[in-house]
Amino acid sequence: MARVKICPKCGAENSPGSAFCINENCGWDLSGVKSVDKEAPKPAPDPDPGKKAPEDNAVPPGKDWAKICPKCGRANRVVAKQCVACHENLKFLIEKTLVDKSLLQGSSGAPAPEPPAPKPVNKVIASLNAPDGRCILKIDTLHPITVIGRENVMADYLASRDYTSRLHAEIHVMGDRLAFVDKGKNGTYINNVKMSPGSTEVLKDGDKVSMGDRWPDDWTKSQAGCFIVAYETGV
């Protein structure tokens, strides 16, 4: 005949090896309760059974009773049958420990929720300035790849620069530096040295970039799109 432990507080049936009542609203300590035949008459619940359940003991604010998993050290609620972290069997674990309630988040069965990911912090890496010193564009970490050309970013500035392609280049953020990827039909010059078609160049502070032709003596009349790199760190 099957045997059970009858919780003296709420009357719930528990397996003979239960250390605590399975009723999640009860959780009574059953370590001293003897098992009985399941078909035997059940005693009426005792409103004051004398043995206090862990959660009825005086608990300091912000604390709660927990089972500490002997395998991985995770804090679990006292009614837990297995560790929510490593699934170690906790049915027969009687020892209880006071812990911060925050350690029991998710220990009712699901893993504790992950903290929200921090919002990315935007950082300006460099400015692309016109030859007269005006800032044309700021490159920041929230935009790791910027496509520039007469029909992309800087379109207003490049509208009359016919030697600059509609999609002339990509600028990639690489840590605290910028890499210039040439994609234009007429080529790109850095400090009047022509890049190999389709190549990539890491830009230095003060580099003069001219898209479509060499750096002009009078940039206002040139058909090339020109800018000077100015890093925030100045390196």
Looking at per-residue confidence, does 169 or 112 come out higher? Answer: 169
One domain, residues 65 and 16: no
**131 and 226 housed in the same domain:** yes
Domain closes at, from 32, 56, 80: 56
**pLDDT the model gives residue 204:** 96
Indicate if the pLDDT at residue 125 is higher than 70: yes
| Whether residue 50 is found in the same domain as residue 98 | no
Residues 144 and 197 in one domain: yes
Domain, as residue range, for 141: 124-231
Q: Please give the Cα distance from 207 to 89 (Å, whole number).
A: 66
pTM: 0.51
What is the chain's mean pLDDT, rounded? 85
Q: Does residue 179 sit in the same domain as residue 107?
A: no
Is residue 42 over pLDDT 80? Answer: no
**pLDDT score of 162 more than 90:** yes
- Burial grade of 127 (CB within 10 A; 0-12, 13-18, 19 or more): middle
pLDDT tens readout for residues 84-109 = 888 899 888 888 888 988 888 665 54
Residue 110's pLDDT is 47
User: What's the rounded mean pLDDT across residues 207-234?
Assistant: 92
Kindly list the distances between the CA atom of residue 103 and the CA atoms of 75, 79, 107, 171, 227, in Å, as whole numbers in the listed order: 6, 15, 8, 46, 56
- pLDDT confidence of residue 62: 84
202 and 148, same structural domain?
yes
pLDDT of residue 179: 97
Please name the residue that has the structure tokens 């005006």. 134
Backbone angles phi, psi at 52, to 5 degrees: -80, 135
Query: Do both 104 and 91 map to the same domain?
Result: yes
Query: Do 139 and 227 belong to one domain?
Result: yes
Please indicate, yes or no, whether residues 147 and 201 belong to a single structural domain of this protein. Answer: yes
Do both 35 and 4 map to the same domain? yes
Count of the separate structural domains present in the chain: 3
Q: Give the pLDDT confidence score for residue 4 in this predicted structure.
A: 84
Number of neighbours of residue 218 by Cβ within 10 angstroms: 7
User: Is residue 227 domain-shared with residue 130, that is, in the same domain?
Assistant: yes
In CATH, what number is assigned to the domain containing residue 220?
A: 2.60.200.20
CA-based R_g, the chain, Å: 36
User: Measuring CA to CA, which residue among 211, 205, 235 is closest to residue 224?
Assistant: 211
Judge if 67 and 87 occupy the same domain: yes
Average pLDDT, integer, range 171-183: 96
